[in-house]
Structure 1
Amino acid sequence: MLVVGALAVVVLRDGRQDVPTGPVDAPRASPAAAARLLEGFTSAVASRDLDGLTALAPRGDEAARTLLSGVADNARALDLRGVTARYVDQAGPVARDGSWTGVVELTWRLGDVDAGTSRADVVASFAPDGDRLALTGFDAPPAGSSARLPLWLRDRLSVARLRGAVVLVDGPRRLARTVARRAVHGVDVVRRVLPRWSSSVVVEVPASAAELDETLGAQPGTYAGIAAVTTAAGSSTGASAPVHVFVNPDVTSRLRGAGAQVVLSHELVHVATDATRTPMATWLLEGFADYVALRDVALPDRTTLGRAVRAARRDGVPRGLPADAAFGTRSADLQARYEEAWLACRVVAGELGEQGLLRLYDAAAGGEPVDAALARAGLPVERLVRLWRSELAALVG
């Protein structure tokens, strides 16, 4: 509490007079107390100390105790390491009851699968509890901020491990096991085309699309229509920053098993090729991932290219391959653009062979412009576009 001296202004007939009124109590944030509290939090996480974590909650606050108990379980199940929490700044005004929020710079690593450390700003909630400061939990980031709410700080998770795949689900254990089986199968799918790839994979499944946005520090609605995304687990994007697959359950729960499998296999191609740190034409990046994911799936073109065909019937066959901007998460006909990209990669593989498609991808990943790499391979982009448009037009009928 902050004690301040106040002045009352009294207006008299013969002028103005300032009259001291004495001390007034006003709640304030205490960065020093928050820093000490966060030291206790990281120490308890490191030692997997359930009692130590739950003791940080306000007395009588069962919701806070339950959350912190879940964090203790998550720390054990995920082998959390390298957890630090540095108080940065106050995030909003102090409430009348003395509670407040603060921005905290957090680091963490899933010990047996993450090679590097994730880093992100999170929003922690504090409240006075007698003569001490207590931790009530972690809040969703304010709209427009860069803060995140990592899944392991949100709730007690269901964790499944299977043959190098680690799955975190804010939901039932059966879903975690299902996603783990899909991840293992997806790794096998990727290795049929990229046999040298060998790596652990991490898949995170929030409870909803809205929570996916919060987990990734995105504006509300950013990933509402996206089935899954492969990206850094924190805000760092350096070479050692862990990359995970994040699944949108609001979308994938509406898919049949084969569709959900293709989604996850597609994302694991991105993991295998380090796509998040590999700039290239998006049609090749996404089309290649679908090429691998769909390579051995027996589905007719009317299914795998259905949205592209409908878009072409409505708007005409596109004049060129989809531009990078067409792959924005809120773009119209986004799924049609993905299907068009897959068809383009299928045409490349048909003309140059699968190894030719792989060489094209590797050249682009190495920084060579796609048009130049295509020309060097004997398939100028103009010819690719003609073949691609011809196949799409044939499907349109």
Structure 2
Amino acid sequence: RVSGRWYVSADKPAPGAPQQLWEQGRMTAVRGADSLVLGVGQPRAKLADVAGLADDAVPAVRRVWPERWAGRLIVLLPASLDRMAALLGEKPADYRGIAAVTTGELGSAAHVPADRVTVNPEAYEELGAFGKRFVLIHEATHVATRSATTAATPLWLSEGFADWSGYHGSGRTPRQVAPELAEAVREGEAPDTLPTDADFAFSGDPGRLARAYEGGWLTCRMIAEQWGEPKLRDFYRAVGEHEGRDGAVAAAARKVLGVDEAELVGRWRGYVREQLA
């Protein structure tokens, strides 16, 4: 900025900044009814398939999160895992096996045009039809709940709610959705506490990561079953509205569910054993 005017200083990312998709090659755009899919090194037919699933994901998310949100998805489909990592400014190894991620600012206004779903084309292609649909609904849920998600929201809740949304109405049983936790229960190693944020590290033990997602999903499923889906949404919002991370879950449990955190965790432990034994 010079004398009150902005000038372009370079046609490449600033030092340390991640790439933009259009800097990776010739970009193709496919516009869906409620989506925009941008790809580099991908056939138009694949982009159109992703756009169709993204369009289907929007009403699926509206059914479980009827709050106001943009109602549109921007999906980036780079040519490879390495290119995906470059868009995120991360190491490729951290996202191997991760089908997609959503980036955006936590606690933003309901209309957040910066939210983008970035797909790992290698992991995504290994999925079947249900898996691809699930991934788009899961990521669309993150976009929809962005304004209610803050630094106070633990990952077990944000990821668990997105998984609950993705599996909603699918008919999948807990043993089908949570095989890693089911094995732990059978071996007498059922968890005693809710998953921590550290359990969700992409670069850590894949079994630990799977159990973290499964544990978060089961918690949201339990709340929806025992208190009702509206209470689950109220709980999600109440956690995000708390000042700071400490005590957020405890305060929301008392306010919305009428139980303290110890009882909530105790019910979850029993629910895990009951559903997966």
> Would you say same fold, with TM above 0.5?
yes
> Residues of 1 paired with 2:203 and 2:185: CA distance?
19
For residue 38 of structure 2, what is the aligned residue in structure 1?
168
Contact 1:275–1:285 under 8 Å retained in 2: no
Contact 1:85–1:104 under 8 Å retained in 2: no
> Residues of 1 paired with 2:26 and 2:7: CA distance?
20
Structure with greater helix percent: 2
> Residues of 2 paired with 1:270 and 1:84: CA distance?
35
For residue 179 of structure 1, what is the aligned residue in structure 2?
50
For residue 17 of structure 2, what is the aligned residue in structure 1?
147
Distance 1:381 1:309, change over 3 A: same
Q: CA deviation at 1:202?
A: 0.2
> Residues of 2 paired with 1:355 and 1:162: CA distance?
30
Structure with greater strand percent: 1
Q: CA deviation at 1:335?
A: 1.9
Q: CA deviation at 1:275?
A: 6.3
Whether 2:270 is the aligned partner of 1:394: answer no
Aligned length: 259
Q: CA deviation at 1:147?
A: 2.9
Match among 320, 332, 349 for residue 193 of structure 2? 320
Distance 1:203 1:195, change over 3 A: same
For residue 157 of structure 1, what is the aligned residue in structure 2?
27
Contact 2:195–2:216 under 8 Å retained in 1: yes
Match among 46, 59, 63 for residue 188 of structure 1? 59
What are the superposed Cα offsets for residues 260-279 of structure 1, whole Å, 9 maximum, x if unpaired?
Answer: 11111011111011169622
Distance 1:314 1:153, change over 3 A: farther
Distance 1:84 1:209, change over 3 A: farther
Whether 2:107 is the aligned partner of 1:227: answer no
Contact 1:210–1:224 under 8 Å retained in 2: no
TM normalised by structure 1 equals 0.60
Distance 1:296 1:187, change over 3 A: same
Whether 2:167 is the aligned partner of 1:294: answer yes
For residue 197 of structure 1, what is the aligned residue in structure 2?
68
Contact 1:321–1:340 under 8 Å retained in 2: yes
Contact 2:156–2:194 under 8 Å retained in 1: yes
Distance 1:156 1:393, change over 3 A: same
Whether 2:138 is the aligned partner of 1:266: answer yes
Distance 1:197 1:184, change over 3 A: farther
What secondary structure sits across from 2:103 in the alignment? strand
Contact 2:181–2:190 under 8 Å retained in 1: no
What is the RMSD of the two structures over their aligned residues, measured on CA atoms? 2.4
Q: CA deviation at 1:238?
A: 9.5
For residue 3 of structure 2, what is the aligned residue in structure 1?
none
For residue 40 of structure 1, what is the aligned residue in structure 2?
none
Match among 356, 359, 383 for residue 231 of structure 2? 356
Instruction: Give the letter for the 1:190 counterpart.
Output: V
Instruction: Give the letter for the 1:324 counterpart.
Output: D
Contact 2:57–2:140 under 8 Å retained in 1: yes
Which structure is higher in RCO with an 8 Å CA cutoff and minimum separation 6? 2
Distance 1:261 1:246, change over 3 A: same
TM normalised by structure 2 equals 0.85
Instruction: Give the letter for the 2:265 counterpart.
Output: V
What are the superposed Cα offsets for residues 320-362 of structure 1, whole Å, 9 maximum, x if unpaired?
Answer: 1001111111132212210110001111112211111111001
Q: CA deviation at 1:258?
A: 0.7
What are the superposed Cα offsets for residues 223-259 of structure 1, whole Å, 9 maximum, x if unpaired?
Answer: 1132211104xxx889567110111111111111111
Specify every segment of 5 or more residues in structure 1 that has no aligned partner in the other structure, as ranges: 1-82, 88-102, 106-120, 123-145
Specify every segment of 5 or more residues in structure 2 that has no aligned partner in the other structure, as ranges: 1-5
Distance 1:393 1:84, change over 3 A: farther
For residue 240 of structure 2, what is the aligned residue in structure 1?
365
Quote the sequence identity (%).
34
Whether 2:253 is the aligned partner of 1:374: answer yes
Q: CA deviation at 1:154?
A: 0.8
For residue 86 of structure 1, what is the aligned residue in structure 2?
9
Q: CA deviation at 1:311?
A: 3.9
What are the superposed Cα offsets for residues 198-238 of structure 1, whole Å, 9 maximum, x if unpaired?
Answer: 42220111122111111111123121132211104xxx889
Distance 1:221 1:275, change over 3 A: farther
Tell me which structure has the larger Cα radius of gyration. 1
